[in-house]
Amino acid sequence: MTCSACGTRNRLPFATLDKRIRCGQCKTELLPVNAPVEILSAEQFRAISTQCSLPVLVDFWAAWCGPCKMLAPELEKVATSAAGKTLVAKLNTEQVPEIATQYHIASIPNLVLLRNGQELRRLAGARPATDILRFLQSAE
C-alpha cells in the first residue's frame, strides 16, 4: 500500500487488515485496501485465504473471458465500497489452475467468499456492484 502523504510503499500483513495501520515512514494512517488484490500463486492464495482478518471475495477469472472483463470495473466499485470490511482479490484461473481445480470452478467469472480459509458462499456470472454488495451483506 502506498502512503498518500509521503509516497512510501508499505507492506501490510493480511492478519492486520481489520486494524488501523500507519505508514512505516511518516506514521500517517493508511486507508483500508480499496482495490482488488491480484493473486499470482497458490502460496499467495493460501496466505490470503487463511491469514486475512477480513472476509475475502475471490474473483476467479481469465483474460479471454468477456464477462470477466465486464465484471472487472464492478469489482473495483465493490473493493472501494467494502474497503475495511472485505478484501477483494482476483485469481486468474489460467495462471493458478490448481486453486481453480481445488474450488471446482467450472465456469467463470465466479465469485467465492472465504473466511478463515473456508468457503461461505459463491456467486456465478457477471453482476453489477450493487448485486455483489448485497451478496456480501447477506453473508454477514
Residues labelled as active-site residues:
65, 68
Who's near 77: CB < 8 A, 6+ residues apart? 129
Q: Identity (one letter) of the amino acid at 97?
A: P
110-140: buried (b, 16+ CB within 10 Å) or exposed (e) per residue? bbbbbeeeeeeebbeebbebeebbebbeeee
Who's near 33: CB < 8 A, 6+ residues apart? 1, 12, 17, 79, 83, 84, 87
